[in-house]
Structure 1
């Protein structure tokens, strides 16, 4: 099995090409929860600059990572193993160096062109996310802009658009720790600019873990829990994980187009006795932050209950 690769430029082609792209995205959302976009409109020159500044930023952080808790934990396990002790893989920690970018936090000041490059990149990715959401609206039979309006309470609140910059350094014992534990994403539409040389990202499809193949200059799209709810389960958020690698330093830049924390989310095509409740996204995040790596269905059940039950 191969994660779908879609030429997004054909969306602006003739009727036949456009229909083909619409169907491919619908299939990617419904059958996989993951697909890759090529010819997506984000300039290659900008993507090259993103690679450069993110890699340089990690080099300034590498020494700190080597002194971090995951490294110390793994070194302790290896030492215990040398002493002949039985050791078990770490199941509550990730072999990952991360920092977050959004409009309200402090960004790294070095390298000097980091802020300018990432502001430009985030603006392009936000536009791309909104185009993808419009395709989802049309495929679901919704009015154009429905998903964006749901995420913003009809424009009363700004959506949350965050970017997670990750590196997965070479791991000497990938059998003892994960790169990133299996999870679904809490939010809406996620756009990932992943490493085009070092693999490791996998999506769960039909009970099997399938590689999301590295592809130069592609943007990987996956649907989060809120798209599952809005589509009343037609588009389901997909379980995914990152495996640690012995060789190579995997770069990953994931941008999340999520609802405003104040936005009320509910199925757009509600049916009596449906599986998904109506709730405020901020309440869902309170639950998700405690249960990220657990089954997602209990999260929906938790926000179905009165808010006092969440405390």
Structure 2
């Protein structure tokens, strides 16, 4: 069962209505879909592939196999021969790119290419948010304004560059444990040759099929809250491979830490008053909970059954209780 593939170029023509409906279905029924003809030049994507692979080879690979915690922990577990699996660690080499952190400096063309790429991804994210506004019946710019805590450009846009190296014992460790994404909209440029990404759909894990030069889109926890559950934040994971390295470049358009996130009033007015209503919280408080509960059931993050207990209060309660 392949996830939806949507031709984004059809949004501005006779196919607009159909394309809008496809994106709505992707957000509501899947939480994941792939965009083709998204407007990002293929030449730029080819450069991104090259500099990210070069960076891993030049600056990351040796350290991962010689000094990384996943490598050491897996070796220790293999030597014990007790059949256990590493439960609290991922077989992943990863670093974050944002506007205010230090980037890899030894890989030729890395900074220039990734700066250009991130600018294109951010524009694509904002176009998609406008489509989501329209599909949800919200004013144009509603989601962007919510994520930016009003006016200005305070939302966080980060890029996570990951590689999943060949694993000698793939049955003993996950590439990335199952989780939902905490933020808003996620744009993933995944490996087109090495599979491994899976989503949970109708109780079954299914592959996110590799597709050349596509951008995989998924909706995070904050869009689930803002849409009061109409859009889905979906569980996903990455499997390890025994003989291949998988590349993954995920960009996140997330709310600023002081943004207040809550279900859109316009949506609540249309819904049954007895329907569950997601809580109102400050995103920074939510992230404090998410850090503790990322790989656990997501309902407690939303305060299910807590009845007027704030996110911050729930965090304090959870830590005191030792959860």
For residues 248 and 126 of structure 2, the distance between their equivalents in structure 1, rounded to whole angstroms, comes to: 21
Residues 133-152 of structure 1 mapped to structure 2, 5 A cutoff: 133-152=129-148
Structure 1 residue 242 and structure 2 residue 238: aligned?
Answer: yes
In the TM superposition, what whole-angstrom CA distance separates every residue of 1:198-256 from its partner, at most 9, and x where no partner exists?
A: 00000000000010000000000000000001111010100000000012110000000
Other-structure match for 2:55: 57
- Residue 69 of structure 1 and its aligned partner are, at CA, apart by 1.2
For residues 310 and 205 of structure 1, the distance between their equivalents in structure 2, rounded to whole angstroms, comes to: 29
Q: Is the 8 A contact 1:186 1:288 kept in 2?
A: yes
Other-structure match for 2:2: 2
Q: Is the 8 A contact 1:157 1:263 kept in 2?
A: no
Other-structure match for 1:305: 309
In the TM superposition, what whole-angstrom CA distance separates every residue of 1:12-33 from its partner, at most 9, and x where no partner exists?
A: 122xx01111011111111110
Partner residue of 2:106 out of 110, 122, 138: 110
**Structure 2 residue matching 1:163: 3-state secondary structure:** strand
For residues 134 and 26 of structure 2, the distance between their equivalents in structure 1, rounded to whole angstroms, comes to: 15
**Structure 1 residue matching 2:107: 3-state secondary structure:** coil
Q: Is the 8 A contact 2:263 2:277 kept in 1?
A: no
For residues 12 and 186 of structure 1, the distance between their equivalents in structure 2, rounded to whole angstroms, comes to: 31
For residues 211 and 275 of structure 1, the distance between their equivalents in structure 2, rounded to whole angstroms, comes to: 32
Residues 24-43 of structure 1 mapped to structure 2, 5 A cutoff: 24-43=22-41
For residues 179 and 132 of structure 2, the distance between their equivalents in structure 1, rounded to whole angstroms, comes to: 22
Other-structure match for 2:124: 128
- Residue 87 of structure 1 and its aligned partner are, at CA, apart by 2.5
For residues 105 and 204 of structure 2, the distance between their equivalents in structure 1, rounded to whole angstroms, comes to: 41
Partner residue of 1:191 out of 180, 187, 190: 187
Partner residue of 2:45 out of 24, 31, 47: 47
Residues 229-268 of structure 1 mapped to structure 2, 5 A cutoff: 229-268=225-264
Other-structure match for 1:200: 196
- Residue 110 of structure 1 and its aligned partner are, at CA, apart by 2.1
- Residue 157 of structure 1 and its aligned partner are, at CA, apart by 5.2
Other-structure match for 1:20: 18
For residues 62 and 101 of structure 1, the distance between their equivalents in structure 2, rounded to whole angstroms, comes to: 18
For residues 53 and 121 of structure 1, the distance between their equivalents in structure 2, rounded to whole angstroms, comes to: 11
For residues 277 and 297 of structure 2, the distance between their equivalents in structure 1, rounded to whole angstroms, comes to: 15
For the aligned residues, what is the CA RMSD?
1.4
Q: Is the 8 A contact 1:8 1:39 kept in 2?
A: yes
**TM-score, normalising length: structure 1:** 0.95
